[in-house]
Structures are given as C-alpha cells and as structure tokens.
C-alpha cells in the first residue's frame, strides 16, 4: 500500500494567544484531489505553510511524500500557487517561467521544450511573449498554475486557483486540474467557490477555528440520508395516498416525487409497491444537497450556542 501523499496528525500551531490549528489530522492519497474548506481565519493557509516548511514551531506531525514536511528534497517535488502572488509585470509569460525554471533547477534544454508545452496546457501559448502587465486577472491565475507546474511536481498546492477568473476560464482551469489528476498527481486546493470544489474534488475537509469538523468523500457528505427522488414513466402517477397509508412521507418535486424515510424505514417497500401496481420506475436516486449547503449547515451546527436555563 502506498504511503499518503501528505498527512498530518494532531497538528497544532499558536500565534501568541491565538490557536491557529488545534489538533488537525488528515491524510491525502496519491492522485487525489483534496479540497480544504473554511472561513477566513479557520487555519487553512497556516496548514499549507506548515506542510511547505514556511511556518515553523508547530506541534504534532506533518509529512509530505513520506518525509517530514519542510525538507528541501521533498519541496523539490512540490508545486505551489499562493493566493496573493505578485509576478513582476515587466516579464512575459515565457520569461517568467525561464526565471522560475532556473530557480527550480530545471535545465536549459528542458526549459526550452517545457515552457511552450506548459503555457499551451494553461491556454497561454498565444500570449507567451506578451508582458504580464497586459494579462487579465484570469490569465495571471493561469500563469500562476504554470509556474507551479514548471518542475513537474508530484504534489501541487493551489490556493484559490480560480479567484477572479471568468466562468469560461474557471472551466478551463477545472479541466486542467482533472488532467493533472489523470497523470496521478496529487492536488491540494483551497477555494471559497464551493461549486467549483464540488465539481472536481474527491474528498474535502472543513476547518473551523483550527479544528477539522467534517471530512469525507464529496458524494457521501452531500447525500441527504433518508430522502429519495422517484420518477415514473411518462403519463404515470405515483399512488401518493396509498404510500402515505404505509406511513411514508411523500411530496411532489417537479415532475417527480420526494420520499422521506423515517429512521426505521427503507426504500425497498416503496419500490416493491410501485412494481406491484404495474408502474414503471424510471428514476430512483438518493437526494443530495450542494456542498455549499453542507458547508453552511456544518458551520451553523458548530456555532449553535448551548441551550442553558436562564437564571431568575
């Protein structure tokens, strides 16, 4: 079994009296796209900076590609797009990658072939000799991804990769991230655009005030346990009254019906009843909520004040 691409155990970090991280444990497998979610100040950037060796004096364990986080040999295998990058605007896209390639130890011959290929991957091949000052916000984000890929890393940290990018640009960046995953690269990303995260991430973790409060596969977390959407063949109607007599909660949902199960119920008797009535079941899926709804629900649950009797 392969070692995790990155992992932390009981990771804790203080800034004076402020606890930025309070015992965070997570594990990301090779080739996985993992999304770290949380409000501003939740500890997301602190966690990334610890893994990259930027922040020190922390407690717990942090490992990257099987080695202690921050080791130079490991960092040579890691790419990073920070949220607030500031590229010198007198550079062109190509000259910027030449500069970063030299810093990263990429040979001249490899830079000669790799730079055009990377700029083509991020959709900037036709602007590679244009000054960065002439780039849009979305183009600068794509260039940021390009510099993170310059040395062919195994793990890539992307902090708000689609920030300020128009819908078409966001779609192109999503496609590019999925292509990187297909190459068995590990992607660790932060984003406040939860719809984007939901489309590409395999798993997500939600940080709140330095603690990991929920984590798991996107498909599992967004499943609304106990709610199913049922659809029949055109022209057929669900026998709602009969199902209600069987103690099921049924409500119309557009051209379909939503069936909510109580704690002791399963969907199987509903399916059996529909078939016994000679109806054609064409649609049966467990209802899901959006990742954004899940995120807001999680924060609300955690921030709800404990109910205490009011003293008299």
Structure tokens at 302: 């955690």
Which of 220, 245, 278 represents a domain boundary (last residue)? 220
Structure tokens at 13: 């970090």
Question: Do residue 199 and residue 239 come from a single domain?
Answer: no
How far is the C-alpha of 272 from the C-alpha of 279, rounded, in Å?
A: 10
What pLDDT band is residue 73 in, cutting at 50, 70 and 90?
A: confident
CATH number, residue 258: 3.30.70
Residues near 231 by Cβ (< 8 Å), separated by ≥ 6? 255, 256, 257, 281, 282, 283, 284
38-52, 87-101, 255-269, 283-297: least confidently modelled range: 283-297
Question: Do residue 228 and residue 82 come from a single domain?
Answer: no
Nearest to 8 by CA among 175, 188, 165, 147: 188
Give the range of the structural domain holding residue 238, as residue numbers without chain letter. Answer: 224-288
Structure tokens at 25: 């444990």
Which of 220, 242, 267 represents a domain boundary (last residue)? 220
Place of tokens 């804790």: 12
30-39, 158-167, 195-204, 229-238: least confidently modelled range: 158-167
Question: Do residue 134 and residue 265 come from a single domain?
Answer: no
How far is the C-alpha of 130 from the C-alpha of 95, rounded, in Å?
A: 10
Question: Do residue 137 and residue 49 come from a single domain?
Answer: yes
Question: Do residue 179 and residue 112 come from a single domain?
Answer: yes
Query: Which pLDDT value is given to residue 299?
Result: 83
Could you give the 3-state DSSP secondary structure of residue 110? helix
How far is the C-alpha of 161 from the C-alpha of 165, rounded, in Å?
A: 9
Nearest to 257 by CA among 269, 243, 272, 273: 243
- Please indicate, yes or no, if residue 184 is contained in any of the structural domains: yes
DSSP 172-225: HHHHHHHHHHHTT-EEEEE-S-HHHHHHH-SEEEEEETTEEEEEEEHHHHTEEE
- Please indicate, yes or no, if residue 94 is contained in any of the structural domains: yes
Question: Do residue 201 and residue 231 come from a single domain?
Answer: no
- Name which residue leads in pLDDT, 137 or 302: 137
- Please indicate, yes or no, if residue 308 is contained in any of the structural domains: no
For residue range 207-231, list pLDDT tens digits in order: 999 999 999 998 888 876 678 889 9
Averaged pLDDT, 163-175: 82
- Name which residue leads in pLDDT, 50 or 176: 50
- Please indicate, yes or no, if residue 311 is contained in any of the structural domains: no
Question: Do residue 117 and residue 15 come from a single domain?
Answer: yes
Query: Which pLDDT value is given to residue 50?
Result: 94
Question: Do residue 188 and residue 92 come from a single domain?
Answer: yes
Question: Do residue 234 and residue 129 come from a single domain?
Answer: no
Question: Do residue 174 and residue 248 come from a single domain?
Answer: no
Q: Identify the H or E element spanning 149.
A: helix 137-149
What pLDDT band is residue 254 in, cutting at 50, 70 and 90?
A: confident
CATH number, residue 92: 3.40.50.300
Question: Do residue 15 and residue 133 come from a single domain?
Answer: yes
What pLDDT band is residue 308 in, cutting at 50, 70 and 90?
A: very low
Which of 185, 203, 220 represents a domain boundary (last residue)? 220
Asked if 249 contacts 259 with a C-beta cutoff of 8 angstroms, the reply is yes
Taking phi first (over 0 means left), then psi (-120 to 50 degrees means alpha), and beta for anything else, what does residue 45 get?
alpha
Place of tokens 């999680």: 298
Order the strands of the 67-68 sheet from edge to edge: 18-28, 6-15, 59-64, 67-68
For residue range 116-134, list pLDDT tens digits in order: 999 998 889 999 999 999 9
Domain count, the chain: 2
How far is the C-alpha of 290 from the C-alpha of 219, rounded, in Å?
A: 10
- Please indicate, yes or no, if residue 275 is contained in any of the structural domains: yes
- Please indicate, yes or no, if residue 257 is contained in any of the structural domains: yes
Share of the chain above pLDDT 90, in %: 59
Query: Which pLDDT value is given to residue 224?
Result: 65
Checking if the pLDDT of 99 tops 70, the result is yes
How far apart, in Å, are the Cα atoms of 230 and each of 160, 220, 256?
A: 38, 20, 6
Query: Which pLDDT value is given to residue 304?
Result: 57
- Please indicate, yes or no, if residue 151 is contained in any of the structural domains: yes
How far is the C-alpha of 220 from the C-alpha of 214, rounded, in Å?
A: 12
How far is the C-alpha of 114 from the C-alpha of 199, rounded, in Å?
A: 29
DSSP 58-80: -EEEEEETTEETT-HHHHTTEEE
Question: Do residue 204 and residue 240 come from a single domain?
Answer: no
Asked if 268 contacts 205 with a C-beta cutoff of 8 angstroms, the reply is no
Structure tokens at 216: 């798991």
Checking if the pLDDT of 86 tops 60, the result is yes
Averaged pLDDT, 258-278: 89
- Please indicate, yes or no, if residue 78 is contained in any of the structural domains: yes
Query: Which pLDDT value is given to residue 303?
Result: 72
């Amino acid at each position: 079994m392969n070692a995790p691409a990155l992992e932390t155990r009981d990771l804790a970090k203080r800034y004076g009296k402020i606890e930025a991280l309070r015992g965070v444990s997570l594990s990301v497998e090779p080739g996985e796209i993992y999304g770290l979610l949380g409000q501003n100040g939740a500890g997301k950037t602190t966690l990334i900076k610890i893994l990259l060796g930027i922040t020190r004096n922390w407690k717990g364990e942090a490992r990257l590609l099987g080695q202690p986080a921050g080791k130079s040999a490991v960092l040579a295998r890691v790419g990073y797009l920070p949220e607030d990058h500031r590229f010198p605007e007198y550079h062109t896209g190509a000259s910027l990658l030449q500069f970063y390639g030299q810093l990263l130890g990429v040979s001249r011959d490899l830079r000669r072939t790799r730079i055009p290929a990377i700029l083509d991957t991020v959709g900037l091949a036709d602007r590679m000799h244009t000054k960065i000052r002439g780039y849009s916000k979305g183009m600068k984000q794509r260039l940021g991804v390009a510099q993170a890929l310059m040395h062919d890393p195994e793990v890539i940290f992307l902090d708000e990769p689609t920030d300020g990018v128009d819908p078409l640009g966001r779609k192109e960046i999503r496609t590019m991230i999925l292509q990187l995953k297909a190459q068995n690269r590990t992607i660790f990303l932060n984003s406040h655009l939860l719809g984007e995260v939901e489309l590409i991430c395999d798993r997500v973790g939600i940080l709140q005030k330095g603690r990991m409060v929920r984590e798991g596969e996107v498909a599992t977390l967004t499943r609304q346990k106990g709610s199913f959407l049922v659809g029949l063949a055109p022209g057929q109607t669900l026998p709602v009254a009969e199902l209600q007599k069987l103690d099921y909660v049924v409500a119309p949902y557009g051209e379909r019906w939503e069936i909510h199960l109580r704690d002791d119920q399963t969907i199987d008797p509903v399916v059996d009843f529909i078939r016994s009535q000679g109806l054609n079941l064409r649609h049966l899926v467990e209802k899901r909520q959006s990742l954004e709804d899940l995120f807001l629900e999680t924060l609300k649950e955690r921030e709800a004040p404990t109910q205490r009797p009011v003293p008299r």
